[in-house]
Amino acid sequence: MSGVSKSRPPIYAMVVLALALCSKPAEAHLNSTGMGPIYDGLMHFLTSPEDLVPALALALLAGLRGATYGRQALFTLPAAWLLGSLLGLAAAATTGSAVLSSFWFLLMGGLVAADAKLSLRVTTALAALLGLYHGYLNGTGMGQSVSAILAVLGLVLAVFVLIALAAAFVVQLRAHWARIAVRVAGSWIAASGVLLLGWAVRGS
């Protein structure tokens, strides 16, 4: 090679090595709020309709059934979401299935629209499954750093606040038309699930 000594590595090779060694995390699955990982996790939940809407539907369903159901969902869903996220953090990255997401929209929206008189046990089981599934998906996309755990905490906090506010709002509704309006919202969620399913089928 003309002009290049074989015993001396080129200077840019050392620069490349230095930069490669201090590479930054991909942050591929989180919105960056610039306010730290807790807020990143919180905003991730609030800006992801695939997560937000089924959780909201569960809050509406529990709220329609009364305060006991609301309290049960209030603690079950965030706890299951946290557990699912922690399991997801330890797992390899995966992508969620749009068909399964549409299933949750259809199921939860349909139950709200039908004002389904589910038992407390079944509602709690639904909350646990919903939290585990969505939490797991959230966890797998966040990497395995300390900031990912903080992001999960922010996300779970957002789930807790959403359930608390939405379920409490519905529990205190007494007017017949107001409860009908909640059921109509459930039909909108189910309808969105049907459309999401169509999109998923087209994509596959």
Partner 1 sequence: MRTAQQHRWVHGIAVLAILWAQSAFAHVQKGEAAGLLTGFLHPISGLDHVLAMVAVGLWGAQLGAPAIWVLPVAFPLVMAMGGMLGFMGVPLPGIEYGIAASAILLGAAVAFEVRAPLVVAALIVGFFAVFHGYAHGTELPPGQSALLYSMGFVIATGCLHAVGIGIGVVHQWTWGQRLLRAAGAVVAVGGVFFMWQAFG
Footprint of partner 1 (CB under 8 A): 1-4, 10-12, 15-16, 19-20, 23-32, 44, 47, 49-50, 53, 113, 141, 180, 183-184, 187-188, 190-199, 201-202
Shortest Å distance, C-beta 162 to partner 1:
16
Q: Which is nearer to partner 1, 72 or 102 (CB)?
A: 102
What is the distance of C-alpha 9 from the center of its chain?
48
Backbone angles phi, psi at 6, to 5 degrees: -70, -25
Alpha helices in the chain (DSSP H): 11-21, 37-46, 49-65, 67-89, 98-113, 120-140, 146-171, 176-203
Q: What are phi and psi of 35, to 5 degrees?
A: -115, 15
CA 109 to the chain's CA centroid? 17
Shortest distance, position 203 Cβ to partner 1, whole Å: 9
Dist CA 113 CA 101 (whole Å): 18
Q: To the nearest whole angstrom, how small is the minimum distance from the Cβ of residue 117 to partner 1?
A: 17
Least distance CB 170 / partner 1 (angstroms):
16
Considering the complex, state which of residue 75 and residue 199 has its C-beta at the smaller distance from partner 1.
199
**Nearer to partner 1 among residue 15 and residue 122 (C-beta):** 15
Q: What is the CA radius of gyration of the chain?
A: 22
Residue number with CB closer to partner 1 (124 or 139): 139
